[in-house]
Amino acid sequence: MTDINTNQKTNYKLEDIKQMTQDVLQIAKLAGASSAEAEVSFGTGQNVSVRMGETETIEYNRDKGISVTVYFGNQKGHASTSDLSTQALQDTVSAACNIARYTAKDEFCGLADVALMAKEFPDLDLFHPWNLSVDEAITIAQACEEAARNVDKRITNSEGASVSTSEGVFAYANSHGFVGGYPTSRHGISCSVIAEGQDDDMQRDYWYTSARSHLDLASPISVGITAGERTVRRLGSRAIKTAQVPVMFEASLASGLISSIISAVSGGNLYRKSSFLLDSLNTQIASPLLNIYEDAQLLRGAASSPFDSEGVATKSRQLVENGVLQGYVLSSYSAKKLGMQSTGNAGGSHNLIVAAAGSSLDLSFTGLLKTMGTGLLVTEVLGHGVNMVTGDYSRGAAGFWVQNGIIVYPVEEITIAGNLKDMLNQIVAIGNDSIKHSSKQVGSILIEKMTIAAGD
């Protein structure tokens, strides 16, 4: 990877921080550690928000830090610091060593297998700095908010619009001789407004765009208009009766269902036996329509990386094929606990691309509504009512009642309930309306039946 000055605000080059990780490993070796790993990171960011046309906040962040993990055989110690002076690095390593000496032995701890270390470091196009002045950011945020407020005269207030930009660089190294790192960036625009209807009916909603490069962001005008339209359409909510009906999760929420799958097949939950998908490898866990592809090295991907947080090379793979689970999501520690091999997922899953298999349906948003016929479109969920052990699912929700494939009125203060095993197997359709530049690219998901409970 090219040696570049990744962030002029920090004046640190990638090679500088790679060398810093090497220095820390050498200190750990001299302290008697049998092995060690270290990560150094730097980051800067700017966030500007406006409300009702006026500048509300201007925030800057500047972060730096180093973390070190040392091993004395099967004993592990970890410490970190934001002070990168030579003395502080020595003190941090010393602290980690002291912790390790008093830690119980764990036969599964240690560095990842040396044979799994990444040897190639392709440029995944993850670094696109946005040299945006505060004045320019304010102008963009004001245009976004104004577009939202102009959607409808019933939009009477605003929670504001914001424009954020951030960039950073990190390096990771371990005693296997592995060292790697790269720069990254992330930018975004968001807006939230409030509409007022009859009988003191007030509603809020929002929209956003996020990407590695500012050139991939949706326009601030389109973000504002979407935020305004989503807010106004929630006015005039009605009550509905408790029933069992088809439920459709719009794309921005459908990613939550995918996250539940990933959590259930992740090593930590598996070896703790706190997953509703225990012993599910190579078994049918969902409707044959469901396909999940992990694209670890997607160019400009939100969760792309040539290696995971342990230096293990990442690989693209089919996680779920026609509803059958093809692999778990494992770090080296969880893999050892399960008697398996790391899948390059220390730190989490990478870009997940979800698609429907062999569907003859109209997979557009309106097509899925027509397929549903009569039921509930969910656009917001509240609370954390997901039991990963049993799969029981119960969340507060808001959305829209649909009749004959047409949205007829908004609903709120309801609860949707089911079991994730049943929900996944009852997927009727997966839309093609996925949100790009997300780490989980999935369209709206239509489920055959869930229980809808009216509020008190």
Domain boundary pick from 232, 251, 280: 232
Nearest to 207 by CA among 248, 151, 129: 151
Based on the fold, state whether residues 281 and 212 are members of the same structural domain. Answer: no
pLDDT for the residue numbered 358: 64
Question: How open is the CA angle 425-428-432, to the nearest 5 degrees?
Answer: 120
Average pLDDT, stretch 427-451? 94
Based on the fold, state whether residues 214 and 260 are members of the same structural domain. Answer: no
Quick one: how far is CA 271 from the chain centroid? 23
DSSP assignment of 88-147 equals HHHHHHHHHHHHHHTSPP-TT-SPPPGGGB----------------HHHHHHHHHHHHHH
Structural domain contains residue 295: yes
Band the pLDDT of 11: cuts 50, 70, 90: low
Average pLDDT, stretch 45-70? 97
110-127 pLDDT, tens digit each: 999 999 999 999 999 999
- Cβ within 8 Å of residue 352, ≥6 positions away: 258, 262, 292, 293, 294, 295, 303, 319, 439, 440, 441, 442
Based on the fold, state whether residues 253 and 224 are members of the same structural domain. Answer: no
Structural domain contains residue 441: yes
End-to-end CA distance of the chain: 59
In the chain, what percentage of residues exceed pLDDT 90? 91
Residue 2 pLDDT > 50, yes or no? Answer: no
Residue 357 pLDDT > 80, yes or no? Answer: no
In the chain, what percentage of residues exceed pLDDT 70? 96
Indicate the average pLDDT of the chain: 94
pLDDT for the residue numbered 233: 95
Token look-up 């549903």 returns 372
Based on the fold, state whether residues 54 and 118 are members of the same structural domain. Answer: yes
Based on the fold, state whether residues 68 and 202 are members of the same structural domain. Answer: yes
Domain boundary pick from 181, 212, 232: 232
Average pLDDT, stretch 297-322? 97
Helix (H) or strand (E) holding 257: helix 251-264
Tell me the chain's radius of gyration from C-alpha atoms: 24
Burial (CB count <10 Å: 0-12, 13-18, 19+), residue 279:
exposed
Based on the fold, state whether residues 278 and 426 are members of the same structural domain. Answer: yes
pLDDT for the residue numbered 170: 96
Average pLDDT, stretch 407-430? 95
Q: How far is the C-alpha of 138 from the C-alpha of 133, rounded, in Å?
A: 9
Q: How far is the C-alpha of 160 from the C-alpha of 59, rounded, in Å?
A: 15
Question: How open is the CA angle 306-74-334, to the nearest 5 degrees?
Answer: 45
pLDDT for the residue numbered 454: 82
pLDDT for the residue numbered 355: 86
pLDDT for the residue numbered 455: 63
Question: Is residue 336 helix, strand or coil?
Answer: helix
pLDDT for the residue numbered 3: 32
Q: DSSP code of 304?
A: -
CB 198 within 8 A of CB 117: no
Nearest to 297 by CA among 259, 256, 353, 341: 353
Return the amino acid letter for 409.
Y
CB 48 within 8 A of CB 58: yes
pTM value? 0.92
59-93 pLDDT, tens digit each: 999 999 999 999 999 999 999 999 999 999 999 99
125-160 pLDDT, tens digit each: 999 999 999 999 999 999 999 999 999 999 999 999
Residue 362 pLDDT > 90, yes or no? Answer: no
pLDDT for the residue numbered 199: 82
pLDDT for the residue numbered 5: 35
- Mean pLDDT check: name the lowest of 349-353, 386-390, 436-440: 436-440
Average pLDDT, stretch 237-243? 89
pLDDT for the residue numbered 252: 92
Using DSSP bridges, classify how beta strands 440-441 and 351-356 pair: parallel, antiparallel or unpaired: parallel
Based on the fold, state whether residues 126 and 272 are members of the same structural domain. Answer: no
197-231 pLDDT, tens digit each: 888 889 999 999 999 999 999 999 999 999 999 99
Give me the sign of the Cα torsion angle 185, 46, 54, 138. negative
Based on the fold, state whether residues 223 and 324 are members of the same structural domain. Answer: no
Q: Which domain holds residue 190?
A: 14-232
Based on the fold, state whether residues 225 and 324 are members of the same structural domain. Answer: no
Based on the fold, state whether residues 138 and 261 are members of the same structural domain. Answer: no
- Cβ within 8 Å of residue 339, ≥6 positions away: none
Based on the fold, state whether residues 41 and 144 are members of the same structural domain. Answer: yes
Using DSSP bridges, classify how beta strands 179-196 and 202-211 pair: parallel, antiparallel or unpaired: antiparallel
More confident residue, 200 or 17: 17
Domain boundary pick from 232, 266, 296: 232
pLDDT for the residue numbered 361: 75
Band the pLDDT of 359: cuts 50, 70, 90: low
CB 399 within 8 A of CB 225: no
170-189 pLDDT, tens digit each: 999 999 999 999 999 999 99
Residue 333 pLDDT > 60, yes or no? Answer: yes
Structural domain contains residue 3: no
Q: How far is the C-alpha of 109 from the C-alpha of 333, rounded, in Å?
A: 6
Based on the fold, state whether residues 319 and 286 are members of the same structural domain. Answer: yes
Question: Is residue 166 helix, strand or coil?
Answer: strand
Number of structural domains the chain divides into? 2
